[in-house]
Amino acid sequence: MTQVANLLEGLNPAQREAVETVDGPLLIIAGPGSGKTRVITHRIAYLVQEYGVSPYSILAMTFTNKAAREMTDRLGRLAGPHAGALTVGTFHSFCARLLRIEGDFIGLSRNYSIFDDDDQISAIKQCLGQADYDPKRYPPRAVLSAISRAKNVLQDSQAMARDAAGYYFEEVCARVYRHYEELLARNNAVDFDDLLLRTVQLFREYPVVLQRYQDRYGYLMVDEFQDTNVAQYQLSRQLSQGHQNFCVVGDPDQSIYSWRSADVRNILNFKNDYPRAKVISLGQNYRSTANILNAAKGLIESNGKRLDHQLFTDNSTGQPVRVDEAYDEDEEAGKVIGEIKRLTREESFKLGDCAVMYRVNAQSRAMEEACLQQGVKYRLVGGTRFYQRKEIRDLTAYLRLVYNQQDDQTLARVVSVPPRGLGAKSMQQLGEWATGRGVSTFDAMREITLASRNKQPSPVSLPSRAASSIAKFVDLIERLVAISREAEVVKLIDVLLSESGLQKHIQESDERPEERWENVMDFRGIAQEFNAETPPDGLGSLLERTSLVSQVDDLEDAEDSITLITLHQAKGLEFPVVFIVGMEEGLLPHSRSLDSEEQTEEERRLCYVGMTRAEQRLYLMRAFRRNFRGGSGGPAAASRFLREIPEDLLVPAALSSTAARTVTSPQPGGGSSIRAAALAAASVAPSSGPALKVGDPVRHRAFGDGIVMACEVTASDVEVTVEFAGGVGAKRLLLSFAPLEKLSDSEDPGLGGR
């Protein structure tokens, strides 16, 4: 068999057409699981072996080093000795090498440095000072993000200043950007964004250099084209504008990185920018069952800004997508872990086959706890375990000190978080004096404070600023101790966050302040569970829970373990079994997207990406109430995405869980019958559910027959409380999603007189 036959063997018609189309602009729309990496590598090998293109003339760029390595490995097997002459890598690695060679044209020596994240933050702080701006008022991370966005659309500081006219924060960032440019130049350095910006600048200002690379790279291929930003697109156009042998591969339905400046319009408008472009759709999915694929198709078709292409599979129909409801995030997590244990016990799945995906990192907390409580191994991808995150450790350290002022280790952690003028030298002196006296460090602080209040000499020789800071710290802790003896845990946490300065410290931090604050609010939601205990027992129980969880061995390191991962991180992966949790309005789609149709469409694409990671089983989970973000756990409306999936592809799962909770409604009249509790007669009828009133008999596909106990109209839904027969008990359900059927009186489940 010839080499060419080997390259084409096993390809479907669309894949083969893509491999054999070698000249001119080409857009390959590659749906999920359609074998795009195979097509890219076989096309490159075909160019070399059949078409006679020198491998030296081929440039293939992608977005991650992992993808580049996989492509290189495959090409090594397909192209053999020719593979070494190919240029395969990320945009940034290509630009970094090019600037080493050509950077002199734009004043960049070949031994230039690339600033990493820490270098950039340090530099921005320095530039804020040079521009006479307070870094507490203008967080360096926020300023750097604004500068990064400007660079990704090819703006220097002057261009940013022009666009910023009239917008004060942007004007500040533009001024800092000017100082940052000067600092980078003095240090013969660039940052990550500059690798693209400076290469585009080089090509624009020195056509002779551009011509050299156009002549070399007669064939250009770009993978994941939907994720390109303005700078990457411009660079691609510069390289391909002469020969036009420009092949791009991507899927606008999987564009989920606008927050990284990715611009989905690059792929949507490709045909306009290259009118001669041929478009080939890789629509055959080799990954998912037909039911999973069709459910994902039904969802994504609600998006307006997309390229219509047919998705299909020859795989089996498979099981319907399973949907389940839980009362809160802890019951949701318990149900997920319970079902995974059933799958591993009763079917042929392993723990490593299962992935749990979620919108934001803070959602991992409930899943981690469920895994630990049920003894299930897990690995957390791309994040620190919830109770090990810095903001959570800082907050719990404060709470431990309030609970036990003799804990010197804990005091050492919190005394300078946030910074309060107590240096390492002062704390060392204080610790040595306390040790010599045989007292705790906090007791020593009390003595110093007492002496100051009584206008007596301090027992420890400390700078006046340090002594003043110690007095303020002692006052804070003693006030919190007093509150802990009288108030609920949540009240204590609220006062602590505010008066310690920890809230401001987190919200103004350089490192992901919004995400870190979400984690703190999730912890606050956990604390609400202990409000019912008598102070300070509630605090003690909360600390016991966090300590037991945080001291568990690193279960996630085991090979056969559940994968916990955000939807963004899951792109490019696949699993036999996928659970997507948090299918609620405000979470998926995220609340930040709800005022923008464009952002809502990206949230829909994100859900689509998650669904199409599943090979055999897909579960979509939601909770009626979620303490996430520290809220009161009010009713959460079902995600609109659940209503956009064809109903015939969904089935209620009714998953069991050892962690499931039954919500018991109070019975009016001191134990009178449920039927007698029908005191209200107002009917409620959301567009998606039956008209119901208190006392109506109903049937739920999972919970069976019951009686409506209460109806409450919320801002976006109707919440009903139903007492179910058969020992199920009371459940609170949202009518927009709950599969409730109103029964006739003759079908009354007869729960009265219980």
pLDDT for 738 equals 66
In sequence order, the β-bridge partners of residue 712 are 719
pLDDT for 661 equals 38
Q: What does the alpha-carbon distance between residue 414 and residue 393 come to, in Å, rounded to a whole number?
A: 10
Q: What does the alpha-carbon distance between residue 50 and residue 515 come to, in Å, rounded to a whole number?
A: 51
Q: Supply the mean pLDDT for the chain.
A: 84
pLDDT for 478 equals 93
With a cut of 70, which residues of the chain have pLDDT below it? 1-5, 383, 544, 547-559, 628-634, 656-691, 701-702, 712-717, 726-729, 736-739, 744-754
| Secondary structure of residue 119 in the 3-state scheme | helix
In sequence order, the β-bridge partners of residue 190 are 114
Q: Which residues are known binding-site members?
A: 30-37
Q: What does the alpha-carbon distance between residue 477 and residue 472 come to, in Å, rounded to a whole number?
A: 9
CB 719 within 8 A of CB 635: yes
pLDDT for 344 equals 95
pLDDT for 726 equals 63
pLDDT for 234 equals 95
In sequence order, the β-bridge partners of residue 322 are 619, 651
Q: List Cα–Cα distances, 635 to 142, 405, 419, 625, 713, in angstroms.
A: 33, 39, 39, 5, 10
pLDDT for 536 equals 83
Contacts of 676 (CB under 8 A, 6+ apart): 668, 669, 752
pLDDT for 562 equals 95
pLDDT for 358 equals 96
Our measurement of the distance from residue 299's CA atom to the centroid of its chain's CA atoms, rounded to an integer in Å, reads: 20
pTM, entire model = 0.71
Catalytic residues: 36-37, 223-224, 254, 613
Q: What does the alpha-carbon distance between residue 400 and residue 394 come to, in Å, rounded to a whole number?
A: 10
What is 430-498 written as a DSSP string?
Answer: HHHHHHHHT--HHHHHHHHHHHHHTT---SS---HHHHHHHHHHHHHHHHHHHHHTTS-HHHHHHHHHH
Torsion of CA 325, 326, 327, 332, to 10 degrees: -150
In sequence order, the β-bridge partners of residue 341 are none
pLDDT for 289 equals 97
pLDDT for 680 equals 34
Torsion of CA 75, 293, 301, 622, to 10 degrees: -120
Q: What does the alpha-carbon distance between residue 546 and residue 387 come to, in Å, rounded to a whole number?
A: 7
pLDDT for 4 equals 54
Q: Which residues are known binding-site members for ATP?
A: 30-37
pLDDT for 117 equals 79
Q: What does the alpha-carbon distance between residue 702 and residue 733 come to, in Å, rounded to a whole number?
A: 12
* Structure tokens, 660: 């499931």
Q: What does the alpha-carbon distance between residue 708 and residue 682 come to, in Å, rounded to a whole number?
A: 12
- What radius of gyration do the chain's Cα atoms show? 30
Q: What does the alpha-carbon distance between residue 358 and residue 569 come to, in Å, rounded to a whole number?
A: 10
Q: List Cα–Cα distances, 652 to 367, 601, 618, 649, in angstroms.
A: 21, 26, 12, 10
